Chain A
Amino acid sequence: MPNPLRSLFAWLKRRRPAFLRPSLDSRSVQRILQERLARSPEAVEKGNDVLTGVRIGRRLDANLSVIRQLVGDAPDLVVRELVIAGGAGSPSGARAAVVFFDTLSHAERAASQVIKPLLYDAVRDGVQVPADPQRLADWICTRMINTANVETRADLQQLVQDLCQGKTAVLVEGVDVAIVLDLVGYDTRNVEEPMGEPVVRGPRDGFVDSLQTNLSLIRRRIGSPLLRFDRMILGRWTQTPVVIAYIHGIADPDLVQEVRRRLSAIDVDGVIDTSYIEEFIEDTPYTVFPQVLNTERPDTVVANLLEGRVAILADGTPFALVVPTSLWALMNAAEDYYQRWDGATLVRMLRYALVALVVLLPSSYVAATTFHPEMLPSTMLISIAAAREAVPFSSFTEVLLMEITFEALREAGVRLPRPIGQTIGIVGAIVIGEAAVSAQIVSAPVVIIVAFTGISSFVIPHFNVGIGFRIARFYILLLAGSLGLLGISIGLMLLILHLISLRSFGQPYLAPVSPMRWSELADTFVRLPRWLMRRRPEPVRAPTRRRRDFPAQETGTQGEGAVRASDQG
């Protein structure tokens, strides 16, 4: 069958009215389901297709056995069968089952808030259990269950989805809907100070790995009802809940729409961290500079929402994404906004100066010693020449050697277990630095320069921008070693050109400096006092669509039967 026809049929199948949908009551539906599920791993993926539109049946046993089979007789699936004790009207009571994963839900809360009322409270209060199935379901929802969040589901697939997300289901004999309760509960980290972005002064809480907690950290900071959380599900297998947060009325609707569009275009097996999302939604994939800000700080997210940006949070990771962003935003630390403005401004300028050194200092040294010794002041030239006298390598080789050593030390320091990390410091500082100089493998000025460059690279608040500049440093170094000052200038020009041409969700990467927006300069390499920053940044108008999508998008769609959760909304 041609593909468009097939997808048309699939669409029609999804949209058909309830009475056309197969119900689990039908023996043939049960049989087909069981056959297909038993077949092979690929068939399980297609199982989604099989499930599409199947309704929950009236017969409890059939429902339970299909659910059990769908989750592969999971040992952590709890099926508590019980009888809702009836009053005089139906002395036998109604058979029911409470179903949940005890790895995802609070078993005690299920017991106290669902099972206990159904078992005992009805008996104790002598309430009449309605005989009519529809009224029975309503009665359970409204009278018996004391959880805040109660919904009913008629769709089997949706029900299983909910179970896998940690919801609890109540199925009742004779009722063709399931009652779904939110008793989600599992262990997460406590809210702690974020490790990666500490502050001296300012809010101390950081995001954790649970979406629910993270959203609460944002919601409790923004009292306005205009704060919006748009939920969607990403990841074919992980079915990860992802939330787009923005403030309605501040964020440009086009921007929000564009974020939604880019997110819903993502088709991957799993979203483990927001970095998975980041790679898919970047405007320019081929660059060393991140075009999306990531942060573990709720206050940073809130500050950005207030400036009309959009945050993306995913379950299972403490890192939120903020779009659009600019190089200047990535060079800012949260602390800048909590310190006095004069101090913050000086710190920012220091940061930019040091970043310039990170990119230019090693290459300038190489260019000056190799090509332009006449440009150094004579005393400095003499001392450098004296230090280099016995060194067998060219200064380019020297610097490259030491830079690579430094990068190796840093990487080792990050990867090693913390107690051993100290050793690396000692080995690096004493053995390599000191010994290399005294053995005259490298000259002392090179060690100084590389060490200083290394320290400077740590002042960049966002780690991933730091990586970008570190890579840029090697590129300029290479040019300086081969073409001297000309190489540095041309390399720097191409680097700046590249930065200028980058965009983050349509916003120029170097805005508001280039293109110049005077009113927003107050928060770039300076931070003016808050009472001078009266205007919000201009909303980004009409984000340009990314010119091309990723190859991954094209290859990732072979499982045509799979229905993306985002399509269901």
Chain B
Amino acid sequence: MKRAAPPKKRQLRLRLYVAGEAPNSVAAIRHLRVLLADYPSHVAELEIIDVLQHPEPGAREGVLVTPTMIKLAPLPERRIIGNLKDTEALISMLGLTESERG
């Protein structure tokens, strides 16, 4: 007998490249956190990499500038550049919908 599965939380895997305490980097982290807090239905795995301390991963991934955020999952992989102030663009890139907003 199949047990009805509880509504599964959707998974987001994000990687944000920042440059130390630089203003746009700080702003990008803040904007992202504020947005994710609005969507409790999603489980976000957020990895923040400071390119000043760890330049290699960014170089490997061909990151041109910081802040750059890469959506690793769900696929397809997408990138967004800037301080993430543009919430509309961020929502559409992450594939979120208004109805999911909590």
Interaction A to B = no
Interface of A toward B, CB cutoff 8 Å: none
Interface of B toward A, CB cutoff 8 Å: none
